[in-house]
Structure 1
């Protein structure tokens, strides 16, 4: 039987990347959360960095919504679950509103989410209204609730931005330009929230700026989220203990992946290789992506890291290594400065971090246990004697088509897999990698 949950919701998008979607979404989330409201925030598409900031802003995990990786029913279930408990749902878009396939507009239209676009107004005046109305009218199935001007130079500049806006597209806020409210970035995007000790204060500053700039007219419309009850996953991993590396070097973890492993019955044990914590006693191991290139010296100084990984694989225990997790297993890793570091030596090969992007795109990949979906995003290149077991495909006909490597119980790839796309295949691997 279909159930319906209602909750005020808003989709924050923009004409392009770099307009300020993340800071505005985080500001709204923190503004409402510090008033005691239960706020749930989602990020459109594959992303590990923005959700960390959004989670800190709201005080709750930020999940991904992706129509390719998870599908409509999965996204619908996540939204409906949030609607049953939240006072407000915020969804941050990706890139520009209509960019990509699927796009932010596709996601907003699929669930009837009202869209507010954040526009960088720093170098425009009356043209602001032309751009805003163009976004509003481009697709009839996308409902717009207003527009937010970002990086406004002065009150007079803000008044100019109002000129030409129709009555059904109000200017919700005119946020002033303030370099102190920006965040540091590196080659994969924003610096991780866990690496910024002043992030909480920054979020409060964003919320203060948002509340000061807010104009009358913002109404969070109730959205009805319909969902069909799904049968629970079978406890295929009951009795299995899975260790997961989690720290600044291995931080690219989808919350939904963790949920899937727990729903399958696995006992999860998190540990920090950077803190030189020992590999826990476990039946299987997951090394997610992250920034091993920034912490290669610390990983290399771990007294038991390499030997424990080698013993784990020698015992035939499953080990899944994704992107940065795979780089940590190689013989050597050369960072962007040209310094070469000895890595764990469990997987033959070497990698080099370059200045330009090496691969980016959604990925569909056929594991021996079944098909999975995910994405790739990296600046490194890999040279290994291992022969790929299979190559992924890109649904948008992009060039990124990552290899899947298998060596005994070790499975490695640049792909960041989305476990909800095939929980049974994930369970089958973690049960018996050699099969």
Structure 2
């Protein structure tokens, strides 16, 4: 089995909001600025953090998740990256032991040392208790170093260092600094492409980390993994037009890679700026932020009409989450304004004040199980009845999936490599479910 040895670490935290995303990005930029090739990965189904991490590292970022992407793919992606990189960083999700499989599970699977980032605001000796708790919770996952974030002074940092037991050292203490803050909104970080000063922020953040003593490489680990079997050319001669702009941007690199590996030609277009569709056999409307661009989408009637004509011809359309929202008759944004959208489905989506759904889900069919997740702040109101529903990892009923005249629409985001044959069938417009969407 191929193997490679490389300095690597799992950047994690006791919970969300500790600052691990920006610390990971700043570490990547610090080592990149030092002339090293840095590969960064993200645990779990996240679109937004990888956008920032790609800018920080200058390299592509892929998701790793033992259930969604599969254990073998996790091993292969890290081993492949290690063959020509100088450093691997993996950003965890939520807290170290949160979820199933958790960040800790991935770290143990790959033999990566866990490096927790702990927000030290309002904390002194308790910092040591938190670190010791993380280190002793699972004997199979040793924690030997921690990072203190958002310290108030050098004296504060020394107090934190003194609080740690002998088995844990303080790798660095990061002061509060505006360079370490990145704006966010209801779905997470603001998209990297919307921050004009992101490179300046990252360089400044890298400088903050260097001064905090975080310039050393982590310990080397040995990674092993087999490459996956080549996929058949199930989409040869199929052209797929993919929406990609500020309103539609939630695209896994692995999904695009798979479509190309199956022979598809990919063409990107903007429903915000373009007035017509490129010539294509199928459309993909991915997730994103249509609710922030409702007026622009509503005002671009030529594009809406082109998408309606594509649907009327029975050509395939995959609409995921934000894509589903755009396919409705209308969308009500967070300010209560109603926008007329593509009109492929009757009804509307309404933005809510709180999260409406979150979690890993799978779509089981005769062509395989497409694994993925759901995460949305809007609710759906339509007379259509779903063809099927996804299933949560617990077995409970998940998101509705609508199938009508070539349209496959759901709040569910799929990870395409988990079910290549199913994905190919969708983009070829084949009948997948025993029944189509019905009208109430």
TM-score normalised by the chain length of structure 1: 0.96
Q: Aligned runs of 1:107-126 on 2, under 5 Å? A: 107-126=106-125
Distance 1:194 1:433 in 2: 35
Distance 2:244 2:213 in 1: 38
Q: Judging changes above 3 Å, is the alpha-carbon distance between structure 1 residues 195 and 219 closer, same or farther for their aligned structure 2 residues?
A: closer
Q: Aligned runs of 1:24-423 on 2, under 5 Å? A: 24-214=23-213, 218-367=216-365, 369-396=367-394, 401-423=398-420
Q: Judging changes above 3 Å, is the alpha-carbon distance between structure 1 residues 81 and 208 closer, same or farther for their aligned structure 2 residues?
A: same
1:22-50, Cα deviation, whole Å (9 max, x unpaired): 01000100001122211110111011111
- Aligned residues between the structures: 432
1:241-276, Cα deviation, whole Å (9 max, x unpaired): 111101110011111101110111111111111122
Bigger shift: residues 277-286 or 321-330 = 277-286
Q: Judging changes above 3 Å, is the alpha-carbon distance between structure 1 residues 368 and 341 closer, same or farther for their aligned structure 2 residues?
A: farther
Distance 1:17 1:257 in 2: 27
Q: Judging changes above 3 Å, is the alpha-carbon distance between structure 1 residues 170 and 282 closer, same or farther for their aligned structure 2 residues?
A: same
Distance 2:43 2:56 in 1: 17
Residue 434 of structure 1: CA displacement?
4.2
Residue 277 of structure 1: CA displacement?
4.8
Distance 1:237 1:215 in 2: 46
Q: Judging changes above 3 Å, is the alpha-carbon distance between structure 1 residues 272 and 33 closer, same or farther for their aligned structure 2 residues?
A: same
Distance 1:150 1:307 in 2: 51
Residue 397 of structure 1: CA displacement?
5.7
What is the root-mean-square deviation in Å for CA atoms of aligned residues? 1.5
Residue 142 of structure 1: CA displacement?
1.1
Distance 1:225 1:422 in 2: 26
Q: Judging changes above 3 Å, is the alpha-carbon distance between structure 1 residues 51 and 215 closer, same or farther for their aligned structure 2 residues?
A: closer
Residue 137 of structure 1: CA displacement?
1.2
Contact 2:124–2:163 under 8 Å retained in 1? no
Distance 2:91 2:193 in 1: 20
Contact 1:27–1:207 under 8 Å retained in 2? yes
Structure 1: which 4+ aligned runs deviate by more than 4 Å? Answer: none
Distance 1:167 1:265 in 2: 56
